[in-house]
Amino acid sequence: NFKELFGTWENPLSKLLNSTYMSNVMKFIHEFYKSTGVPRPRQSEIFQVFRQVAFSEVKVVILTAEPLKNFKGNGVALATNEREYNSPSCITEMVERCVEDTVYNGINPSFDLTLEPWLMQGVFPLHASLTTTITAKDGYKNVWKEFTRSVLKVLSNSNKGIVFIFLGEDVKEYVSLINKKHNHVLEYQSPYESFKLKQDWACSCFSDTNKILKKAKGAGATIIW
pTM for the model stands at 0.94
For the chain, list residues with pLDDT below 50: none
Beta pairing partners, 186: 165
pLDDT at 134: 82
pLDDT at 85: 57
- Looking only at the bridges linking them, the beta strands covering 60-64 and 184-188 are unpaired
Asked if residues 146 and 21 have their Cβ atoms less than 8 Å apart, the reply is: yes
pLDDT of residue 84: 54
The pLDDT, as a whole number, for residue 104 is 93
Please provide residue 132's backbone torsions phi and psi, each rounded to the nearest 5 degrees. -160, 180
Residue type, 76: V
